[in-house]
Structure 1
Amino acid sequence: MEEQPELNDIKTVDDKEKLSSHPVDSSQQLETSFTNDVDSDAAFSASCLTTAELQQHWRAVKQEFRSVKLLFEIPTARIIDRTTSKYVVYQIVVLRSGSYDWERVAIERRYSDFLHLHQELLLDFCEEMEDLVMPRKRMTGNFSEENISERRVALQDYLTQLYSLRYIRQSPTFQAFFTHQELKTAYDLLRGGRFSLALEGLQKVLLLQDKLSSHDPTVVIPTLCAILVCQRDLEDFNAAFETGRQALPTVRRYELRHYQAPLLEALVDLGYSLGLPVAQLQEELTRVRNYPHGHMSQMSIKELVVQEFV
C-alpha cells in the first residue's frame, strides 16, 4: 500500500509578465477611461475602489459569454525512492488554451492522489463517469520507463476527460485535487510564522485557482485574504493594501459577509499606516458592523485566515 501523499511545493514553469486583456464590446471605452487611475501609484481615494469594482464587473460579464478552456499536460514523472517506500510522482501543468499562457504552473501528484480523486468523484457523479476509465495500477513493472510513460499519457487523458464534463470541472472535489495539498502546506507555514514561504505558495495557488475557478470568483477570496496577512506581517503594506483592494469588489458583489468586516478593517488600518484617505472605507466598515441582518464576523482578518485547514 502506498503511503499518504507527500505535500509538494508548486513549481512555476514559466513566470513571465501576464498579458492584459481588454473588452471588445461597448464597455471598452468606459473601462479604458479608468485604467490610468487604477494603475497610477498616486494617492489612493475611494473612487479607485469603485473603479476596481467596475472593472471586475465588466470582466465577470464578459466571462459569462467566454468560457475559459484548459489543457492538462503531464510532461514528466520521477521516481521517489525512500527507505520505507518507493513511488512515482507525475508533474501536472495546467494551461489556458487558445493563446500562449505565460503563467504555467506545475504541481506533482502520485497515482494514489488520482485514485482518491476518482473515488471521491464517483460518489457524486457515478452516472456521468460511467464511460470514463481510471488508468489501472499494474501489479508488476510499475517503475519501468515504458510503464511510467504509458501511465503518464493515460492520466493526462483522464484529466482531460474529467474537465470535459461541466459539473465535474466545476465541483470542489476536482478543483481541490489541484490546490488542496499546496494550500494546506501554505497555511501551516503561515500559522508557523514563516510568512515568506507561505506567501510564495499562496501566490502560486492563486494562479491555479484563477484558471480552474473562472465560474466562481469567490473561490480566490480566502487565498487573497491569506496573502494580505502574509504581506502585512512582512511589512509590505503597499502590496497588502493592493491585495485587499483586489478582493473587496468580489466580497461586496457576492455579499461575502463573513469576510467583509475583517477585510474592511484591514484596509482601513493599512490605509492609515500608508497615509491614504480612508474615510469612506471607515464609513462602510461602520455600516457593515451595524448591519441588522446576517452574520458579521467579529474576528480580525488574521484570526479568520488561521482557521483555514485546521
Structure 2
Amino acid sequence: MAARILHRLRHALGADGNREERTHDGAETEDCPESSELEDDTEGLSTRLSGTLSFSGHEEDEDEEEEEEEEEDGGEELPAGDAAQDGEWGPAARPGSVLSRQLQELWRRSRSSLVPQRLQFEVTSASVVSERSSKYVLYTIYLTRSGQLDKAPASISRRYSDFERLNRRLRGRFGCDMAAIAFPRKRLRRNFTAETIAKRSRAFEQFLSHLHSIAEIRRSPEFLEFFFLQDLRAAQRLTCTGMYREALATWSNAYRLQDRLGVCGSGRFLLTLAGLVVCHQELDQLGEAHGCCEQALQLLEAQDSHPLLGPFLQAHVHLAWKVGKDKRQSEARLQGLQEAGVPLQQQPSLKECLIKEPLE
C-alpha cells in the first residue's frame, strides 16, 4: 500500500515537471519575436528622433514639404504600452518629442518672419546751443539697421537750418517726389520748449525715413552729403593740422555713415579709407592701417588709372613689410604701373592726397 502511494506521488511530480519544462520551452520560443519586435521598434524610434533638434545649415536648404515630413516623424509619441516595453526609451521620448516639435515650430516661425533690413533714423538727444548772438537746437541722429545692435553706431548732429537746407535743395530737384513729404514749419516763438523739440525730433525722423524710402533721393548727392560731408571736411582739417586722434574718430564715423547708406564704392569712401590709413599709421596702429589699405585695393582692383591707386599700393607695400604680411601682389602691380609709364616717383603720398583733395 505504501509502495503504491509512493509510486503515484512520483508519477504526479514527474508530470508537473514535464508541464513546467514545456511551458518554459514555449516561453523561450516566443521570446525571440518579442525581442526582435522590440528591437525594431527602438531602432525606428532612434531614427525618428535623430535630427529633430538639429538646426544646422543644411536643414535651411530643405524645402517646406520635407521639413513637414520630418516634423511629423520626429514628433510621434509612443503609446503607453510601447513606452513600458521600451524601458528607458519610452519615458525619454515623450518630453523630447514635445520639445522638439515646439523648437521646430519656433524655428519655422522665426525664419518666415524675417524681413529685409532697412535703415532707421532715431533722434537720440537734442540740446540747446548758445553761440554769441545766436541760439539753436542741435539734434543728434543715430543711423542703425533694423534688427541689429550697433556697438558703434553712425551718428550725425544737425540743426533745424541744416534740415531746412536739405528740404529746399531736394524740392528744387525732386519736386514730384517731395510733394507728399511733410516738413516741420518754422516757428516765431516757443522754439526751445520741450514740446516743440520733441515734436520736431519725431518729424525729422519721419522726414529722413521718407526720403530714404525713395531710391532716386537716397542716391542723390544732396541727400548723401547731408550725412557725411561735414564729417569729411572736419576730418580732413584735423588731419592737416596733425590732430590725428581726433581725426581718426571723425574719419571712423564718416566710414560708418557711408557704410549704412550703402555708398562704399564711391570716391568719397576711398578718401575716407585714405584718412584712416594715415591716422592709424601716425598713431602707430599699423595692423589697422594695413587692413584699410587692403580694403581700398580691393575696391581699386579693376581701376588701373585711379589717382589713389599708386599711393595706396605704395602704402600697402610699406605697411605689409612692417607687419610681416605678403606684399608680392602689390609689388607686382606697382611694377605693372611703372611699365605702363606711370611716374610713381612723382605721385603724392596718401597724406599729401588728403591735403590737396578739395571737398566741395
Q: Same fold (TM over 0.5)?
A: yes
Q: CA deviation at 1:215?
A: 7.3
**1:263 counterpart = 2:312:** yes
User: Aligned partners of 1:25 and 1:278: how far apart in 2?
Assistant: 40
Structure 2 unaligned residues grouped into runs of 5+: 1-56, 62-114
Give, as a single letter, the amino acid of the residue that structure 1 aligns with 2:153.
Answer: R
Asked if 2 retains the 8 angstrom alpha-carbon contact of 1:261 and 1:297, the reply is no
Q: Which position in structure 2 is the counterpart of 1:165? A: 214
Q: Which position in structure 2 is the counterpart of 1:140? A: 189
Q: Which position in structure 2 is the counterpart of 1:305? A: 354
* Equivalenced residues, count: 248
Paired residues for 1:1-310 under 5 Å: 69-214=118-263, 216=265, 219-253=268-302, 257-291=306-340, 298-309=347-358
Please identify, of 169-178 and 267-276, the stretch whose mean Cα deviation from structure 2 is larger. Answer: 267-276
Q: CA deviation at 1:144?
A: 1.4
User: Aligned partners of 2:152 and 2:287: how far apart in 1?
Assistant: 23
User: Aligned partners of 2:136 and 2:253: how far apart in 1?
Assistant: 25
Q: Which position in structure 1 is the counterpart of 2:33? A: none
Q: Deviations over 1:147-195 (max 9, x none)?
A: 1111111111111111111111111221111112222111101000111
Structure 1 unaligned residues grouped into runs of 5+: 1-21, 27-65
The 1:123/1:139 distance shift into structure 2, 3 A limit, reads same
Asked if 1 retains the 8 angstrom alpha-carbon contact of 2:155 and 2:253, the reply is no
The 1:262/1:68 distance shift into structure 2, 3 A limit, reads farther
The 1:194/1:168 distance shift into structure 2, 3 A limit, reads same
Asked if 2 retains the 8 angstrom alpha-carbon contact of 1:213 and 1:219, the reply is no
Q: CA deviation at 1:272?
A: 2.8
The 1:136/1:262 distance shift into structure 2, 3 A limit, reads same
Q: CA deviation at 1:238?
A: 2.3
Asked if 2 retains the 8 angstrom alpha-carbon contact of 1:79 and 1:86, the reply is yes
Asked if 2 retains the 8 angstrom alpha-carbon contact of 1:170 and 1:213, the reply is no
Asked if 2 retains the 8 angstrom alpha-carbon contact of 1:241 and 1:270, the reply is yes
Stretches of 4+ aligned residues off by more than 6 angstroms: none
Q: Cα RMSD over matched residues?
A: 2.9
Asked if 2 retains the 8 angstrom alpha-carbon contact of 1:258 and 1:297, the reply is no
User: Aligned partners of 1:251 and 1:228: how far apart in 2?
Assistant: 15
User: Aligned partners of 2:151 and 2:134: how far apart in 1?
Assistant: 36
Compute the TM-score of the two structures, normalised by the length of structure 1. 0.72
Q: CA deviation at 1:74?
A: 1.1
The 1:144/1:277 distance shift into structure 2, 3 A limit, reads closer
Give, as a single letter, the amino acid of the residue that structure 1 aligns with 2:126.
Answer: A
When Rg is computed on C-alpha atoms for both structures, the one with the higher figure is 2
The 1:253/1:98 distance shift into structure 2, 3 A limit, reads farther
Identity among equivalent positions (%) equals 32
The 1:241/1:168 distance shift into structure 2, 3 A limit, reads same
